[in-house]
Amino acid sequence: MQPTDVLVVGSGGREHALVLALLNSPKVGAVHCLPGNAGTAEIATNHVLEDTSHQATVNLASELGAGLVVVGPEAPLCDGLADACASAGLPCFGPVAALARLEGSKLHAKLTMQEAGVPTAEYVLLDANSDIESALDAYASSPWVVKRDVLAGGKGVVVTTDRSEARAFIDTSIETDGCVLLEAFLPGEEASMLVVMDGQACVPLPPSQDHKRAFDGDEGPNTGGMGAYCPAPVVNDVVHERIVSRIIEPMHRYLAAQPVPYRGVLFIGLMIDEHGDPYVVEFNVRFGDPECQVTLPLVTSDVFDLLHGAATDGLDPAGVTVSDRFALTVVLASEGYPAAPIKGRPIEGMAEVMANGVYGDAWLSLAGVGRDGQAWLATGGRVLSSTAVANDVASARQRAYEQLERLSLQGGHHRSDIAHRALDR
Ligand code: AMP
Ligand code: GLY
């Protein structure tokens, strides 16, 4: 069979990880990225389009002869890129807009979970006519959790014990969006499950755990994610079985029965309570970043088959195998991230570390990195992540940190406690 060329849409560390995994497949020919980043430029062909319409993306894929489009981020999915690919007969990994609303609208996600009978936090929908003080009273026994009903790039949720902060976020959200969700606080430990699915089948990949706060000990502001490891032991066999039977199976039944089935990966953000009972905190309609960086390297079967299978309703769960090893990634962020990252500073040591190649013991996924001639510059908040795979989580952690120590970025910061929950158990 002729190798297939693939177009990967997006520009983050997740997309670099996707390109690395695809290039590991003998079934993949050339990999193209739109727009990609400095990491993908090393191993694939980056493209820039002035025309940002979906039609332009579809046209590019056609001109390149791509047999698969893999969409990394949520925004183009919520905006209908998969629908445009479907109209052109182009296999697309990523759901159509009607199903991407699971991430685009928290209210839609809640209503879907009610319909599918999936456990999640109780909530109340507030608008300009609501008695907001009574609602705050009703949820006053634990921190208030306020969620905007729009795609907010990770800034749509406030969890706080400060009543005036909760009230202010409710008021501004109602003003801009018309409504807002106030939901019950779920105590427990978080985990992420990435479930690849199509109209016929679904495949849960090994569970992982992100570290969303900026600083060690889960202190500081929320970020896009400062590091992750996989598999996460909080999802033991009993918990895993509950997640499959109570959440994954009902969601897949629901999504496979839609007029156009879900073809892509469903990211399930979970809270596992003290009894080992799982609740859904959020759905995303894409791979997590940095969860993707630690999950795909553990897939020992062909990743192209996995993605192309899901895009074409040909997913074969029996053909998907995963390693029994451990992966860990730690994110290097620019000074000031997440509030106001300082950009443009050189990263020293890149050439040597990049020369190590990939899928050995350790490698990098680049995100906010640019080139100026031979120099490598930090151009974003999350700059890159250092990933390692080993036989146990402590060794993976040691290797990922050793690799990171070979780089230097003025003011750069990273967490030093990735996987502390696994190692402290
Ligand atoms: P979300 O964007 O919905 O994932 O929310 C961002 C973060 O807020 C989550 O990763 C959790 O750490 C926290 N969070 C969201 N909802 C809840 C909840 N009901 N109870 C406790 N923490 C929550
Ligand atoms: N790491 C969390 C996310 O990708 O949303």
- d(CA 160, ligand 1 centre) in Å: 11
HSE, side-chain direction, 13 A CA sphere, residue 337: 28
Choose one of 74, 124, 141, 145 to mutate for the ligand 1 pocket test, by most ligand atoms within 8 angstroms of C-beta. Answer: 145
Atom in ligand 1 nearest the alpha carbon of residue 185: 20
> Does ligand 2 lie within 6 Å of residue 291's CB atom?
yes
Strand 213-215 and strand 264-272: pairing? unpaired
106-116 and 97-104 helices cross at what angle (nearest 10)? 110
Angle, nearest 10°, between helix axes 303-311 and 13-23? 110
The span from the CA of 321 to the CA of 323, in Å, is 7
Residue nearest ligand 1's atom 5 by CA: 157
What is the arrangement of strands in the sheet containing 209-210, beginning at the earlier edge strand?
209-210, 227-230, 326-333, 382-390, 362-366
| Ligand 2, atom nearest to 290 Cα | 1
User: Ligand 1 pocket, 121 CB below 6 A?
Assistant: yes
Provide the mean pLDDT of the chain.
97
| Ligand 2 midpoint to CA 382 (Å) | 12
Give the residue among 267, 286, 266, 268 at the shortest CA–CA distance from 278.
268
| Residue-by-residue pLDDT tens, the chain, 425 positions | 799 999 999 999 999 999 999 999 999 999 999 999 999 999 999 999 999 999 999 999 999 999 999 999 999 999 999 999 999 999 999 999 999 999 999 999 999 999 999 999 999 999 999 999 999 999 999 999 999 999 887 789 999 999 999 999 999 999 999 999 999 999 999 999 999 999 999 999 999 999 999 999 999 999 999 999 999 999 999 999 999 999 999 999 999 999 999 999 999 999 999 999 999 999 999 999 999 999 999 999 999 999 999 999 999 999 999 999 999 999 999 999 999 999 999 999 999 999 877 777 899 999 999 999 999 999 999 999 999 999 999 999 999 999 999 999 999 999 999 999 999 98
The per-residue pLDDT for 179 is 97
- Closest residue to atom 5 of ligand 2, CA basis: 288
Report the candidate in 174, 194, 208, 224 with the shortest Cα–Cα distance to residue 339.
224
Q: Is the minimum distance from the CB of 210 to ligand 1 under 6 angstroms?
A: no
> Strands, E, within 72-150: which ranges?
92-93, 123-127, 144-148
The response to whether residue 157 sits with its C-beta less than 6 Å from ligand 1 reads yes
Tokens 């309570």 appear where? 273
Q: What pLDDT digit, counting tens, does each position of 211-244 carry?
A: 999 999 999 999 999 999 999 999 999 999 999 9
Q: Is the pTM of this model over 0.85?
A: yes
Give the Cα separation of 162 and 166 in Å (integer).
6
Decide whether any atom of ligand 1 lies within 6 Å of the 302 Cβ: no
User: Cα of 273 to ligand 1 centre, how many Å?
Assistant: 14
User: Does ligand 2 lie within 6 Å of residue 120's CB atom?
Assistant: no
Burial 288-307 (b: 16+ CB within 10 A, else e): bbbbbbbbbbbbeebbbbbb
Q: What is the largest CA-CA distance in the chain?
A: 64
> How far is residue 330 from each of residues 106, 160, 294, measured CA to CA in Å?
29, 27, 10
- The whole-number pLDDT of residue 154 equals 75
Please give the Cα distance from 267 to 74 (Å, whole number). 11
Question: Counting beta carbons within 10 angstroms of the beta carbon of residue 273, is it exposed (0 to 12), middle (13 to 18) or buried (19 or more)?
Answer: middle
Q: Which ligand is nearest to the CA of 147?
A: 1
Cα of 288 to ligand 2 centre, how many Å? Answer: 4
Nearest in space to 255 (alpha carbons), one of 322, 193, 313:
313
CB 187 within 8 A of CB 212: no
Q: Whose CA is nearest to atom 2 of ligand 2?
A: 288
